[in-house]
Structure 1
Amino acid sequence: MKRLAIVRQKYNPAGGAERFISRALHALTQQHALSVSLIARNWEKLEGIAECRVNPFYLGNLWRDWGFAWSARRRWQQEGFDLVQSHERIPGCHIFRAGDGVHRHWLQLRRRHLGWFGRLSLLLNPYHHYVQYAEKAMFQHPDLRLVVCNSHMVKQEVQHYFGLPDQRFAVVYNGVDTAQFHPQLQQQYRAIMRAQYDIPAASPVMLYVGSGFERKGVARALQVLQQFPDIYLVVVGGDKHAARYHVLAERLGMQRRVRFTGAQREVKPFYGMADAFILPTLYDPFPNVCVEAMAAGLPVFTTTTCGSAELLTNGRNGWVAAVDDQQGWHDGVAYWLQHQQDWASWCQQARQAVEGLTLPAMTDVMLQKYEKLLAVHTS
């Protein structure tokens, strides 16, 4: 019996990276003589998967990641697994799921938007040095057979920095439950949610969903929409510095038409109340919220450093501009606002762009990759 290990510090079967992987693993265990184990600190119960708890003592994020990496690698070597798929940057794994993108590239983008003190803090932070070291060692390790990227953007970044050939990659977009996220959400929730949040029925509404307000661009969204006094912005998500964004909205004179809802367990009603989705993120490999929004029929406005931009065409199902291209952002929102007669078409085209990204379809792609690697190992 072949043995596969999945490595993830905190494994949540509902997470974007894990949802279709969990389905693929279930299919593999049904179709083949395959034993699957999960090496993790914490996890939610996954039927048919054996748990290997690895939870070394730690103080701080550097020791947390290093300690887990060392212990996880030691565990899979002791157990003698045939294949090891890691969602963490650990040298020696056979498959790496690059769901967080390339840390080195993220740091370069981050530096451009910091003052001298912020850049110095990044330079002196030992955690960033460790992550870059682990990332490089992993991508250059001879045992690495496959890198699963959630966008072509991430694949190109890995190739740019580490020179891996095409045959070592699989690009597999995060799947979306197209039955749960669909344009009919507007019929279900538009009126009731707008009444609940005191938003006029006919007013254009843009939606933001996500934590990490600084990286994902809540301030940029506020600054762009300040120029359009008819548009309301609904911000769904939590952030430890959320109060700063309340103050910014006030300073921009937008407090009347911005709604900060905090974190929400159920986001579908918010997709149903909105007319478009906005995510001016500094860097995001492939955010689930974008494909959920598109499946719900919302055009998406995002940046060139967001993997979901690969699904968008300006003026058809959304708009893409560089994160600092203020004129580009203004032009995109203005174009959308001036063409309300085309919103139904934008809605339809947004939905069509993601209809093939179902969870079963993405599962099939991963299943093929696993089977190929297992066949090579067997031979």
Structure 2
Amino acid sequence: MTFAETDTRVSLYGRRALGLTVIAAGLVLAVVLSLAFGTNPLTPGEVWEGLHRRTGSEASAIVWSMRIPRTIVGIVVGAAFGVAGALIQALTRNPLADPGLLGVNAGAGFAVTIGVGIYGGMNIDRYIWFAFAGAALATVLVYLIGSAGGRGTASPATLVLAGVAMAAVLGGVSSFLTLIDPITFERLRYWGLGSIAMTKLDETWSVLPFLGVGLLLALILSGPLNSVALGDDLAAALGTHIMRTRVLGVIAVTLLAGGGTALTGGIAFVGLMVPHVVRWFTGPDQRWIIACSALAAPVLVLVADVLGRILGRPGEIEVGLVVAAIGAPVLIALVRRRKVSGL
């Protein structure tokens, strides 16, 4: 190894260490802000007092009954959507891929709408399976549509167009169904905006095992995905089982995006923005991208949620709307760049 190669590797490790430090600090700060801000703002001292002394005070009641469950939900769904985005970008070799843009969230939301129409109510033990089925079906359909006539491959632009079209169709049908019977779909209308305020903690615990399996699959696949990024032929020559990697990847995306959507509705652009930011300091190594996305995505979700509480006071703006307002300009900037960050 030459001196230049050694210097480059040391520089990369330094960037990764700095990036991890910034992410960890950002996550701690985001958690503190999430616990402190809301309809009734709390000082850091009141938050600390409420955490350590569950004495029945107003601050303690606010922190334990409202802020902590909400913060946990934000961390869980943020990690789910962030890793799902990193995974789907690696699988499709498409830097513009995202569970929201490719219609995965819309597929899960449409299936949940069907489930609510059949069973009534919002029992997560029932509609979680609808979310998984809808996410898987949308993922497969978008890839098949995007790769039609392309010998099994699809360009980034084609996949995005197919995903946007799929999301528009499914979202339109879901909206039509909710208008037909507004009483049955009352809670679903707010859920579809992407809110972490309505999700109960016991619902999060029931979905967490599925998200854990999806995250574990993503971490296991991170090594083979580095080979897939080089192209199918070279990956096969390196001993990577292409079909198995893609099938397991689709399962992981289904569990992560479907589970996250079942909890909070679709929160778009998290899976698009976070992997790009992470890639600035990790480089193209999928092991680092996936692991860091799991830590960085909750920061975005929690900060967006805090902004929604502050800007919408005395009410609030759903986190999905705030993230979309941030993500749309980011998407335009990514599209206009001549060279997006490499996968």
TM over 0.5: no
State which structure, 1 or 2, has the greater radius of gyration over its C-alpha atoms: 1
- Which has the larger share of helix? 2
- Which has the larger share of strand? 1
What TM-score does the superposition give when structure 1 sets the normalisation length? 0.26
Q: Answer 1 or 2: higher relative contact order, Cα 8 Å, separation at least 6.
A: 2
What TM-score does the superposition give when structure 2 sets the normalisation length? 0.28
